Amino acid sequence: MPKLDLAQRLQAVLFVAPNPATVEQLATATETTAKEVKAALGELSKSLGSTGMRLTELDGQYRLVTAPEAADDVRRFLQEEANSDN
């Protein structure tokens, strides 16, 4: 099994994170430094640019979100899911 680089590991952590995460939290989770995390977050943001996901930062906290271009599809899916629960 190939080893994941730090950007890929951060993507996995952020995917399961229930709340936005700070650089410090991500550094602790990946046993790396804040400097390494910041650099890898830049790489991750760039690599996600051509996918349906985006990396956002607000007040020093990072999270994965869906791309705005996918909003209509996501909205329809969530509405269908909500309707099927009834």
pLDDT level of residue 13 (50, 70, 90 thresholds): very high
Q: Is 44 helix (H, G, I), strand (E, B) or coil?
A: helix
Task: From residue 57, give the alpha-carbon distance in Å to each of 2, 40, 54.
Answer: 29, 14, 10
Pair 21, 58: CB distance under 8 Å: no
CATH number for 6-84 (one of 3.40.50.10490, 3.30.420.40, 1.10.10.10, 3.30.70.20): it is 1.10.10.10
pTM of the predicted model, to two decimals? 0.89
pLDDT tens readout for residues 26-71: 999 999 999 999 999 999 999 999 999 999 999 999 999 999 999 9
